[in-house]
Homo-oligomer: A and B are copies of this chain.
Amino acid sequence: MSTPNEKKEVTIYDIAEALHISAATVSRGLKNHPAIKQATKDKIFAQAERMGYRFNTFARNLRTKRTYTIGVIVPRLNSMFMSDVIAGMEKVSNEAGYELIISQSLETMEKEMKNAVTMFNNRVDGLLVSLAYTTTGIDHFKRFMDKNIPLIFFDRVFEHPNCPNIVINNHKAAYELTSYLIQQGARRIMHIAGNLNRNVYSQRFKGYKDALSDAGIQFKEDWLIVNNLSAEDGIRTAKHICALTERPDAIFGANDTCAVACMQELRRNGVYVPKDMLVAGFNNDPIATVVEPNLTTVNYRGHEMGEVAARTLINLLNEGSEQQTAATIVLRHELIIRDSTRR
């Protein structure tokens, strides 16, 4: 245990002394307080620069009880989508003088709870969360609400009076996609869904079902398959489908990973897409453009979602608690039609 930093740090007191003014003036000058004369500010900045001063966040945090830090909890960091979300958040946050602390729940509620504790102990000013696959409630965020620490959910959200949600219209997107499949001639459309406790999957399922209904097609219970949407699940589903006596003529997977794996396994079993069966996914993952045939899917931009989430949070932090904030912000999505659904 040695002290890592040898040289003594320069403080505002050192600057004050060098300029024969008070530390208070230096403190105000450094953050551009209007009560300080411009000439004085200039001198302070110059001196700070000259002495190699660096601001001490902890002294400020200790005093102000704010950390200018935003916590981010996401299921995984391994998709282009998430990478974009984070990039968008970073951009907005940094411009507003906030830092990000990022952690992944790896899709388990257990880790998500641990992450929440960590964030709490790090005293983040606010929290941006996309829920894990297995999360069943949000009690682990209760301590944040108790302390009035703003909490915003994005993408995988949870409806709660205190927590704004940033989402896309999953229902509408799924509705559009399903309607399109019907329009392509499909009648027996199966849906592979994720955990229906997660809004994204329940909404997609509902959109799918409503589209069927509106087209006069009677939904059958065994058209719905719920699993973890992993590649393995996709393969399993394909095998299941091949074993059916009455096979579907289209499959709509709630994510691309699963849809692609399923489509490939179907192919290995002699089912050709799109000739014998249409397949569509959701997310516009890079693999959708690699797989043969290219996968029809729904695209939505992560960067925008990240920006909006961060901006909403920062507004909350700056304006104080007594302001009007939208309960839900819905972002754009778009249907991307590719070969996997073209007859």
A-side residues, CB < 8 A to B, are 1-7, 9, 54-59, 61-62, 65-67, 76-80, 82-84, 86-87, 90, 94, 99-104, 106, 114, 118, 120-123, 125, 147-150, 231, 257, 260, 264, 286-287, 290-292, 317-318, 320-322
- B104 and A87 contacting across the interface, CB-CB below 8 Å: yes
Min CB distance, A336 to chain B, in Å? 16
The contact sample of 7 A-B pairs, CB cut-off 8 A, is A4-B149, A4-B321, A5-B148, A56-B123, A76-B83, A77-B86, A90-B104
Kindly name the residue among A58, A148, A286, A321 whose own CB sees the greatest number of chain B CB atoms within 10 A. A58
Contact status of A120 and B5, CB under 8 A, knowing A62-B62, A104-B90, A287-B290: no
**Which residue from chain B places its CB closest to the CB of A7 in the assembled complex?**
B147
- Residues on B with beta carbons closer than 8 Å to the beta carbon of A76: 83
Cα distance A106–B91 in the bound complex, in angstroms:
12
- A318 and B1 contacting across the interface, CB-CB below 8 Å: yes
- Residues on B with beta carbons closer than 8 Å to the beta carbon of A150: 4
Count of identical protomers in the assembly: 2
Set B5, B62, B102, B286: member contacting A65, Cβ < 8 A: B5
Min CB distance, A9 to chain B, in Å? 8
- Residues on B with beta carbons closer than 8 Å to the beta carbon of A62: 56, 58-59, 62
Cα distance A80–B285 in the bound complex, in angstroms:
13
- B58 and A58 contacting across the interface, CB-CB below 8 Å: yes
- A122 and B290 contacting across the interface, CB-CB below 8 Å: no
- Residues on B with beta carbons closer than 8 Å to the beta carbon of A2: 320-322
Cα distance A42–B266 in the bound complex, in angstroms:
62
- A82 and B90 contacting across the interface, CB-CB below 8 Å: no
- B87 and A82 contacting across the interface, CB-CB below 8 Å: no
- A57 and B121 contacting across the interface, CB-CB below 8 Å: yes
Set B6, B101, B287, B292: member contacting A147, Cβ < 8 A: B6
Kindly name the residue among A122, A264, A290 whose own CB sees the greatest number of chain B CB atoms within 10 A. A290
**Which residue from chain B places its CB closest to the CB of A257 in the assembled complex?**
B286
- Residues on B with beta carbons closer than 8 Å to the beta carbon of A291: 290-292
- A149 and B1 contacting across the interface, CB-CB below 8 Å: no
A-B pairs, top 4 by smallest CB distance, nearest first, are A78-B83, A2-B320, A58-B61, A58-B62
- A103 and B104 contacting across the interface, CB-CB below 8 Å: no
Contact status of A122 and B57, CB under 8 A, knowing A62-B62, A320-B1: yes
- A90 and B78 contacting across the interface, CB-CB below 8 Å: no
- Residues on B with beta carbons closer than 8 Å to the beta carbon of A55: 121
Set B58, B122, B264, B287: member contacting A286, Cβ < 8 A: B287
Cα distance A101–B260 in the bound complex, in angstroms:
34
**Which residue from chain B places its CB closest to the CB of A66 in the assembled complex?**
B4
- Residues on B with beta carbons closer than 8 Å to the beta carbon of A77: 77-78, 82-83, 86
Apart from A4-B317, A59-B62, A90-B103: 13 A-B pairs, beta carbons within 8 A = A1-B320, A4-B149, A4-B150, A5-B147, A57-B58, A57-B123, A58-B59, A77-B83, A78-B79, A87-B104, A94-B114, A99-B122, A101-B101
